[in-house]
Amino acid sequence: MLLIRHGVTDAVGVRLTSRLPGVTLNALGIEQVAQVCDRLRDLPLAAVYSSPLERARATAGPIARGHVLDVIELDALNEVDFGEWTGLTFDELSRRPAWARFNAARASADVPGGERAADVQRRIVAALDDLQARHEGAVIAAVSHGDVIRAAVLHAAGASLDLWHRFEVSPASISVIAYAAGSPRLLGVNEVPGRFAFDAP
C-alpha cells in the first residue's frame, strides 16, 4: 500500500483548506507529481485510488495514466473535515485555544463542527483494510492528505494519535504499509521526490 500525499499547493503551510473546493497544485506541485510518477514507473501498480478533492485527483491522475489505469475515487481518503477551522490561516488558528488543545491531545480533542482525529483514523484504517483484502498480494497507490496518511501511519506503528508530530508527511511524499495475514507493517514514511529509500518489490 503506497500512501501518497498530494503535491504542494499555494495553501500548504499557510491556510487550513480542509475540504474547500478549488485548491489546486501549483507549479512546484505539478513538478513533484512528475517526479513521483518517474519513481513509480517500474512498479506493478494494480490500482490507483484517490481522495475526491482536486489536488489529490491531480496527483493521482498522472500516476494512473502511467500505468494505464483509471483513478478510483474513494471518499474514505478525503481530507479531514476541519469544521469551523476550515479556511483559516495558521496564524489565525494559533490564537485559538481549541486549536492548541487539538495539537496537544489529538486522541481526545474535539474539532468544532468537524471530525475528531480518532474518527479520521477509524475511517482510513477501515478503508485500507478493505483495499488490502480486495487487492491481496498486489501493490496499490492511495492518494490522500497529510493528516489522513499520518493517522494510518500511527496506527501501523502502534503509536498514539497524540504522537502525530513525530511523523512528517510532506507534499508528494510516499509512505509504505505492507500487510501480512491482515496485519499492517510500516515499511517507509515520508519518502519524498529526490530522496526515496524503498526499493521496488
Residue positions annotated with a catalytic role? 6, 79
CA dihedral 152, 179, 37, 30 (to 10 degrees): -10
C-alpha cell at 161: 494519535
CA 153 to CA 147: how far, in whole Å? 10
Cell numbers at residue 141, please?
497507490
Please state whether beta strands 45-50 and 71-73 pair in parallel, antiparallel, or not at all (unpaired): parallel
Could you tell me how many residues make up the chain? 201
